[in-house]
Structure 1
């Protein structure tokens, strides 16, 4: 866990950290149970995710893989753990993603973690700040990350 995650930063402190890695989450296991629950929640029951025998026989993955959107959905928990609190922030709102790429499949049973680099802090109004993070989700022991994206969040102040 990031040692600075619990130390609230002012907006000025945050701006001084543009270009720096702000935090790295702990490893999270993406097991078949989690994949199956995501399939149920989203209605995406493609065999490459939910049928281990068929995925082993018919895909180059050696078994089932996590949905790309499951890996993406882990950003909220990873960011909450790894990113520093912002002084005066009442809430954070997902604003969007730029340049999202799913670079490698996440095999069932693999562990992933997020690395967050601050790319920008842009005041939108006296009560809102748009924050841009470059995030990379690593797969433990793999040579290539699962995904990379620029994640935009809106910090509501007050």
Structure 2
């Protein structure tokens, strides 16, 4: 698709990812990478005594899954993209914890797409990360990315 064809989709839900399991191994690796070893993430016995009933993924781990979920989704693909970069977020809310072993998937709604400079496009999506079998999502964010064609 061309950027202009994608721009015509502003205001629409534009994609859903595959499900991915949030394993304890992934949570532990994220804890090691970030130095966040709070027991609610890595100590199953202590975490059982919390309202969560077991270990949970870091909120930032769930947020950082957006590129993976995006790559494993049916989002429209713009022809000729040379690279894409994260630009930032306007709003992010961590609504429900993701328990170890649960599966998540993303849903994208295109909020805005504009050409900042020739060949440099900025898109804003409202992204909802759903937790399989749960009423409330893990998070909702308004995320900005740029891509270059």
- Aligned residue in 2 for 1:90: 82
Partner in structure 1 of residue 19 of structure 2: 27
Measured in 2, the distance between the counterparts of 1:28 and 1:81 equals: 9
Q: How does 1:1-158 map to 2 (within 5 A)?
A: 9-57=1-49, 59-82=50-73, 83-157=75-149
Aligned-residue offset at 1:120: 0.5
- 1:129 Cα deviation (Å)? 0.8
| CA positional deviation for 1:109 | 0.6
1:6-59 CA deviation, whole Å, 9 max, x = no partner? xxx1111111111111110011000111111110111100000000000102x1
TM-score (norm 1): 0.91
Q: CA RMSD in A?
A: 0.8
Query: Structure 2 stretches of 5 or more lacking a match?
Result: none
| Structure 1 spans left out of the alignment, 5+ residues | 1-8
Q: Secondary structure at the match of 1:84?
A: coil
- Cα distance, 1:127 vs structure 2: 2.2
1:130 to partner: Cα distance: 0.5
Residue of structure 2 equivalent to 1:6: none
For 1:111-144, what per-residue CA distance to the aligned partner results, in whole angstroms no more than 9, with x for missing partners? 0000011111111000211101110000000000
With normalisation by structure 2, the TM-score equals 0.96
In 1, the alpha carbon distance for the partners of 2:7 and 2:148 equals: 16
